Chains A and B, each alone.
Chain A
Amino acid sequence: MNLAHRDIRHNFGRFALTTLGIGTLLMIVMGMGGIYRGLIFEATMLVDKVGADLWIVQRATRGPFAEISRVPRTMVDRVAAVPGVAQARGFVYHTIQRERDGKPLRIAVLGLDWPVDKGAWLPLVAGRALAQNHYEMIADRSLRLQLGERLRLGKNTFTVVGLTQGMTDTSGNGFAFFTVQDAQAIQFDRPGEAIRLERAAREQHTGTVDIGRTQPAMLDRAGGPAAGIPVLPPSEISAVIARVAPGGDQSAILSTLSGWADVTVYPRQAENDLLLLGVVEKARRQLGLFRVLLTIVSGIIMALILYTLTLDKLHDIALLKLIGAPNRAILGLILQQALAMGALGYGIAYLLGLRLFPLFPRRVVLTNDDLVQLAVVVGGISVLASLLGIWKALRVQPNVALMG
């Protein structure tokens, strides 16, 4: 006769509520692990999806994700000319914040090097890739933009032509993909007044030097658009990404690029490591600590609940001893309840998590390894939590049953 089952059946409401509480707690533990995995996934997703073998960034920086990096647009051609490089593309990445319907809208802006890169590699769930050099964008669903929706950014209005799912940066901001030119226009957009003031300052400064005084045409040009002044460089990009040709020698390319004084080169794994060890590491440790603490708290709560349930049954346990029940029957009563509570709590945590985690603002990734690990931990804390109750049950004397 399974006493644990009989006790649960008789006190089902209390058992169910207690298990639901433990399940909710375990769901949070599970969610913490999932958020950690989500961080890693988000951090490395873009690097993995872009599929570049080499990341060429500003010298002595760890860009473009961990810190700001700027390289000239001409760097794309320089890298493409290195023997063994199959393709080089410009890469622009920055984050902007706008308001939409009175709420902040943070967008991770990523520039695609049109026409080489139209975003065909993106996991589109609706719409299409970019089809023109300007005024089109592909947005992630997390930005809550609709296909065909028009969004004004800077001085231009962009139409959403494609939607992706689950493309977010390490901070959880949804990606929006533009051409490099448009991404730069958004990045370097300035108000008209600021431009007018800059032109006036440039014109005034030119007027104070000999070349301005002696060449009136130069003075006119100084007061015009910056693009019309050859000595001013065009806007810079964040990085250049390169793909090694099949059969190409990556180490040779690395060696060549490392000799350039103005850039630093990272292979794909190094770029991933920069993201994981730099951007994600503190969050990982924090989440890990939370997870450990929550697991301990879950264990303590389970122990207290099981101890209380045992205290409620002390008279019955004494009676069991009075009628000669062996210790294994009493241990089974407590231990099986603990394991049932742990197992059902785990199941509730999993099912609740499946429903609730997609509603979380950050990605929650449940991996099989983590689920198995948590199941083992829950089994362990179920056993440990029941020890206090078992200790109490073994100490109770059968004559307690005679005390009425």
Chain B
Amino acid sequence: MSVHPAIETLALTKVYGSGHTEVIAMRDATLRIEPGQCAALIGPSGAGKSTFLTAVGLINPPTAGQIRIAGRLVMDGARALTDPRRFRRQHIGYVTQKANLIGFLTARENVELAMRLNDVPASLARRRALELLDYLGVRERGDGYPPELSGGEQQRVAIARALANRPGVVLADEPTAALDGRRGRQVMELFAKVAHEQGAGIIVVTHDQRALDVFDVIYEMEDGVIRRGTPMTAEAGPATMAAPGSGLR
């Protein structure tokens, strides 16, 4: 396992507009996710969770601050220090709110594509895609097109795609929003399993309070500021707030 944190952000700030139209979507957001750690990022709508996630995913650059992935400085302020798309393809798995599969590819091809873009040989990509679909319990749906799959199946395929290249970082933006409680919990448990078994650092943005007990660490975001919370257990109820940097484990 790497000695570096899987994800490390330092004082990330994102400002939209300027002057009297200026909106600060994220303010000095700092966190650290170790390899094999599965973190939840919770908070009300408009708190800046998605802004944070897209910044870490090198999709939407911050205005200020730094992002390190596996110890490598990849974003310094708004300046990308690497090709964001290539870096994402090689090191980051991204799961979105809706399953977001490519409509003209089958479930298996959606997973295969992520690997083929990284020049993984076709036969190897196919075998690993089937393994991942099997791991996520949707192998028998591999030849189905996205509209033929249920919401839960689509989300599992999207997760399989995010894991295809064995990324060091997995980012999931409300991956259970379209699922019922039982399936939502299954997905959350899956993320925790992936983090623990594959050593990936995972951040899951979620509104779903019922499955917070599966996470190793919880961060709460409000008005663009990230604070560290306490781990959730089934008995403990909603996460309690703690001062940033306070120990959890």
Contact between B116 and A11, CB atoms less than 8 A apart = no
Contact with A along B85-124 (1 / 0, CB 8 A): 1111110101011101111110001001110110000100
Asked if B103 contacts A316 (CB within 8 A), the reply is yes
Write the nearest CB–CB distance from A87 to chain B, whole angstroms.
Answer: 72
A359 proximal to B (CB < 8 A): no
Select from chain A the residue with minimum beta-carbon distance to B90. Answer: A324
Look across to chain A and name the residue whose beta carbon is closest to the beta carbon of B60.
A399
Contact status A404-B103, CB under 8 Å: no
A11–B90 alpha-carbon span in the complex (Å):
30
Instruction: Report yes or no: B59 in contact with A323, Cβ–Cβ below 8 A.
Output: no
**Beyond A313-B104, A324-B88, 18 extra complex contacts between A and B, CB < 8 Å:** A1-B109, A9-B104, A319-B101, A322-B88, A322-B96, A322-B100, A323-B88, A323-B114, A324-B92, A324-B114, A325-B85, A325-B113, A326-B117, A398-B85, A399-B54, A402-B50, A402-B54, A402-B173
Is A324 in contact with B104, judged by CB distance below 8 angstroms?
no
A321 at the interface (CB under 8 A from B): yes
Give the distance in Å from the alpha carbon of A398 to the alpha carbon of B85 in the complex: 9
Chain B residues at the A interface, C-beta cutoff of 8 Å: 50, 54, 59-60, 85-90, 92, 94, 96-98, 100-105, 109, 112-114, 116-117, 122, 145, 161, 173
Query: Once the chains bind, are A324 and B145 in contact (CB under 8 Å)?
Result: no
**28 A/B residue pairs, CB under 8 Å, sorted by A:** A1-B109, A1-B113, A1-B122, A3-B105, A3-B113, A6-B104, A6-B105, A7-B104, A9-B104, A10-B105, A313-B104, A316-B104, A319-B100, A319-B102, A321-B85, A323-B89, A324-B85, A324-B86, A324-B114, A325-B85, A326-B89, A329-B117, A401-B100, A402-B54, A402-B59, A402-B97, A402-B100, A402-B173
A322:B102 contact, CB within 8 angstroms? no
A6 smallest CB distance to B (angstroms): 5
CA distance A277 to B103 in the complex (A): 58
Q: Which residue of A lies closest to B103 (CB)?
A: A316
A7 to B105, alpha carbons, bound, how many Å?
Answer: 7
Which residue of A3, A323, A404 contacts B98 across the interface (Cβ within 8 Å)? A404
Identify A402's interface contact among B96, B105, B116, CB under 8 A.
Answer: B96
Q: Which residue of A10, A323, A404 contacts B104 across the interface (Cβ within 8 Å)?
A: A10
Closest CB of chain A to B203's CB: distance in Å?
A: 15
A1-36, CB < 8 A from B: 1, 3, 6-7, 9-11
Question: Beta-carbon contacts of A360-404 to B below 8 Å, as 1s and 0s?
Answer: 000000000000000000000000000000000000011101101
Q: Which of B59, B89, B116 contacts A399 (CB 8 A)?
A: B59
In the complex where A6-B109, A402-B50 touch, is A322 in contact with B94 (Cβ < 8 A)?
yes
Q: What's the least CB distance linking A404 to chain B, in Å?
A: 5
Which residues of chain A are within 8 angstroms of B97 by Cβ–Cβ distance? 402, 404
Max chain A CB contacts within 10 Å: which of B86, B88, B145, B161? B88
| Contact of A323 with B54 in the complex, beta carbons under 8 Å | no
Q: How far is A197 from B131 in the complex, measured between Cα atoms in Å?
A: 105
Task: Say yes or no for A320: interface residue by CB 8 A criterion.
Answer: yes
Assembly CA distance A404 to B54 (angstroms): 15
How many whole Å from B174's CB to the nearest CB in chain A?
A: 10
Q: What is the bound-complex CA distance between A402 and B59, given in angstroms?
A: 10
Q: Which residues of A contact B113 (CB under 8 A)?
A: 1, 3, 323, 325
Contact: A401 with B117, CB < 8 Å? no
Chain A residues with CB under 8 Å of B122's CB are 1
Chain B residues within an 8 Å CB radius of A404: 97-98
Q: Which 8 A-B pairs have the closest CB atoms?
A: A324-B89, A10-B104, A324-B88, A7-B104, A1-B116, A324-B85, A316-B102, A398-B59
Residues of A within 8 A of B89 (CB): 323-326
Neighbouring A residues of B85 by C-beta, 8 Å? 321, 324-326, 398
Q: B96, B98, B161 — which one has the most chain A CB atoms within 10 A of its CB?
A: B96
* Contact indicator B96/A401 (Cβ below 8 Å): yes
Which of B87, B105, B109, B145 has the largest number of chain A CB atoms within 10 A? B105
Partner of B117, one of A7, A10, A325, A397: A325
